[in-house]
Amino acid sequence: MRDDTPPSLFDLTGSGQRYGRFEPARLTQARVRRSMTKTELAAEVGVSAAAIGQYEANINSPRPDVLERLAKALDVRPDFFSIGRPLARLETVNAHFRSLRSARVSDRQKALATATLVWELTFALERHVRLPEVDLPDIEPGSTPAEAAAALRQHWRLPDGPVKHLVATAESRGIVVAVRPLAEIDAVDAFSVVIVDRPIIITTPRRTENVFKHRFSIAHEIGHLLLHADSTEHSAAIENQADEFAAAFLTPAASMDAALPQRLDLATLDRLGRTWGVSPHSLVRRMVERGRTTESSARRAYQRLAMINDPKADPSSAYPGEVPTLLKKAVELAGEHGAGVPALAEVLKISPRQVRDLLGEPDPRPVLRLVTDA
């Protein structure tokens, strides 16, 4: 079934509902976020794959009835596809991803589609709530990761010692942090983007289930924001630099020289790690870097840790200072002045359920199931 409707330069009207002029990039955003190919979407909507391609290329626009079927298939409102709202186009967004080797282009595009919607929520909130201004230092070109980490500590006026409440600190400096389900960005552990000057870091439960891993991931992404803001390169070297930044930021060399034991002792490293908010694995690596142990001893330590370590048993997994709260608090404040979840859903042209999902809140609706005879 083909749809050869000419390009729309006028409002689309259907079923008594007035829709704005069609925005092709919105269709791409919604389709990619749902992880659907053009062929899959075409089959569900009842048009040809070529028609979907023409819609997204702005060659043709869908008829009102097709528009409604697209909205149903992609779980958005029909007016989601209208022009007139701020839109961060996927092809213009630069991001840095973890798990780069396993992440396909489609995986990264899907993650970016999620990030653009998080940014749109942030932008909508800023019409009602003043969020913290972005406060990141300018790093001199050619700076090492350790130098950048020291510069950030100085810029944020962090005291010597452990960085407490890393996520809360990042949010207070204007960085939006969100946790998205694995089903949405399953091939990407964490990534960072800057959209219209607003830095956004997104992680997954695979990273947040352990507070040490989560903190290191957040620091890693902050390293990208500082060191690679203008870079489009994706390589192991870039990822290693971000890792070096995270280690230097969370466990500065001078502090580690005073705190690390003289010999490799996993019990001591476990206690030290809980004080500094880093994993014993990270501290073993720091001991190698500071000349306190050898690579061969470190490998044996990693093997022992793999046998005895249970990430889910970490008692500090629910550490409140590492749970993102900026957007939730902003929505609560906006709601006190009549701009709560329903109003935001109207602005974003999605359902209130989807807004709550973006905030990481559970769906309050009861789950109903049919009763069948045995």
Res 222 pLDDT > 60: yes
**348 belongs to a structural domain:** no
Residue 321 is which amino acid?
G
**333 belongs to a structural domain:** no
Mean pLDDT, the chain, whole residue set: 85
Q: Do both 68 and 151 map to the same domain?
A: no
**342 belongs to a structural domain:** no
Q: Do both 116 and 72 map to the same domain?
A: no
Tally of structural domains, the chain: 2
pTM of structure: 0.85
Helices (H), the chain: 24-33, 38-45, 49-56, 64-74, 105-125, 145-155, 166-172, 205-208, 211-227, 236-250, 253-259, 266-276, 280-289, 295-308, 326-335, 341-348, 352-358
pLDDT at 11: 37
pLDDT at 16: 36
**78 belongs to a structural domain:** yes
pLDDT at 207: 65
Q: Do both 70 and 146 map to the same domain?
A: no
**186 belongs to a structural domain:** yes
239-296 residue pLDDT tens:
899 999 999 999 999 999 999 999 999 999 999 999 999 999 999 999 999 999 999 9
Indicate the residue among 56, 84, 112 that finishes a domain: 84
Q: Do both 117 and 44 map to the same domain?
A: no
Residue with tokens 């049919």: 370
pLDDT at 230: 76
**359 belongs to a structural domain:** no
Lowest-pLDDT range, 4-13, 176-185, 302-311?
Answer: 4-13
323-334 residue pLDDT tens:
899 999 999 999
Q: Count of alpha carbons within 13 Å of 203, Cβ hemisphere only?
A: 23
Res 176 pLDDT > 50: yes
Residue 50 DSSP SS3: helix
What is the rounded CA–CA span in Å between residue 95 and residue 202? 11
Q: Which two tokens stand for residue 249?
A: 């930021």
Domain that holds residue 243: 95-320
42-57 residue pLDDT tens:
999 999 999 999 999 9
Indicate the residue among 60, 84, 108 that finishes a domain: 84
